[in-house]
Structure formats: structure tokens, C-alpha cells
Amino acid sequence: MGIRIAEGERLDDLQNGYKIIQDVKDFCFGIDAVLLAWFARVKPGARILDMGSGNGIVPLLLRARYGQVHITGLEIQEKSAAIARRSVAYNHLEDDIDIVTGDIKEAAAIFGKASFSVVTVNPPYMTGGHGLVNERSSKTIARHEVLCSLEDVISQASLLLQERGKFYMVHRPFRLAQIMSLMVKYNLEPKRMQLVHPYIDKEPNMVLIEGLRGGNSRITVEKPLIVYRKPGVYSDDIMQIYGRKE
């Protein structure tokens, strides 16, 4: 293919026609990215921005699912952005996916206001001082708000979206009150929400949210999504999302 897979990297098959390069010692994608791409609703011809794109997993999943859309991934860490670009090239998607190195806090300045019809984001879940922080490593940047805050993410998304544009985010339920408050503050009206539970008898550990720029105040809460039927065995819903059959 002409794309080098470096030492310490692996090439993973996404089972959708595309493959992704991942650094095994870095922050590999998880189910939260898969669920974000599945939860998003995208119309043909949409211009999509994936904020904090990491190794480019969400752009690849959205391209596989929706076909003819244009997706830009914004990633502050050049190492991750470079890996994402190689994955894009490996899959011959250079005309459909752009990976830009840049800061979420400057996104509107980089791309211009009202430049996108859809914004997706899988942001750092933890506040800067919450949990263990290993200086400014790539994993810390991905998990903790050391380079951007939740307010940075939501305020920039509002600036970047066209009127009636859609915002999609995966986050943690313990920050739901703050999420809703900030979305309303920045004119991204919460319209759809789904809680994700690891098991049917466990409390949720993820929340998927859709916001509409300039929308009216009305939200639909979808049925809970259960990840596992039992340890190591995905639920039927998750198997369907992954496109697998038992």
C-alpha cells in the first residue's frame, strides 16, 4: 500500500471496509468512539468536524456509515494527527477526510464560524484535577481537561455550527448537569439523549447527547443501551452496532 506501519504500531481491521493504524503504547480507541459515530445522524453531503479526533477513528467510522460526506478531524497532538493521516491515506480517503493539527480552543478561528453542519466530539471526561494525571502525556491529554475544558468544547462547537446544525457528544453521566447547562448557554439545545450501561443492573457510565443549534426546548430520552449481557459477551444491540452476528 506504500503506507509504513512503524514499530510499536498495529493495523486493525474495522470490519467495515477500512483499517486503522494504532500505536499500541498510545491511546487506542474504545467503544465510546464507536457509539458516538453510531449515535450521530448525518445527511448526505454534510460537512462534519470531529473535534479532538485522536487517531481518526470517528471520521473513518462516519465515512464508512454515511458514504459521501466530507469530514475534518481536528487534533492538537501532532503524533496522533500524523497517524490519522496515514490511516486516511491507507484507505484512499484523502478526498473525503482531512486531518488538521490544531487547538479546539481556536477551532472557530481555524475554520471560520458556521463552517459545518455537524460537529462530533469525544472529549476528555475528567476535569484537570480529577483522577490520576501523568503530567501531559498523550493519555492524560485524551482523558483529562488539561488542554481544553468542557466549556471550550461546547462554546467552539456552537460557533462552528451553521444554524440548525447538529452537535453530537459522548461523555460521562456524572457531568450531565454541567453538560446540559453549557449546551443551553451556548445555544445548542439538547434534543436527544441515551444512557449507556455496562450491564443491565449497573448504573450508566456513558451518555450520548445530540444538540441542535438554535433548536426549541424539547428533548427525547431514548431507551438505555446495555453493553454486555454477561462478562465478555456483548448485548444484541452492541452486536448490531458493530455489525456482527452471533
Mean pLDDT, the chain cut into blocks of 10 residues (246 residues total): 82 95 88 97 95 96 94 95 96 97 96 98 71 51 62 97 98 96 98 98 97 96 97 95 71
Q: The domain that contains 117 carries what CATH number?
A: 3.40.50.150
Residue 108 lies in a domain: yes
Asked if residue 67 belongs to a domain, the reply is: yes
Q: Measuring CA to CA, which residue among 196, 182, 189 is closest to residue 219?
A: 189
For residue 141, what pLDDT is reported? 45
Instruction: Report yes or no on 4 lying in a domain.
Output: no
User: Which pLDDT score, from 0 to 100, does residue 82 have?
Assistant: 95
Tell me if residue 78 falls in helix, strand or coil.
helix
Q: What is the pLDDT of residue 244?
A: 64
172 Ramachandran zone, left/alpha/beta (phi>0; psi -120 to 50): beta
Torsion of CA 147, 42, 174, 182, to 10 degrees: 70
Return the pLDDT at 146: 52
Does 246 map to a domain?
no
Number of domains in the chain: 1
Q: What is the span of the domain harbouring residue 146?
A: 9-241
pLDDT the model gives residue 147: 65
| pLDDT value at residue 246 | 46
The CA angle 130-134-140, to the nearest 5 degrees, is 70
Q: What is the pLDDT of residue 26?
A: 79
Looking at residue 145, what is its pLDDT? Answer: 46
Query: Which stretches of the chain are DSSP H helices?
Result: 31-39, 57-66, 78-90, 107-111, 138-143, 150-160, 176-185, 236-241
- Asked, for residue 1, whether it belongs to a domain, the answer is no
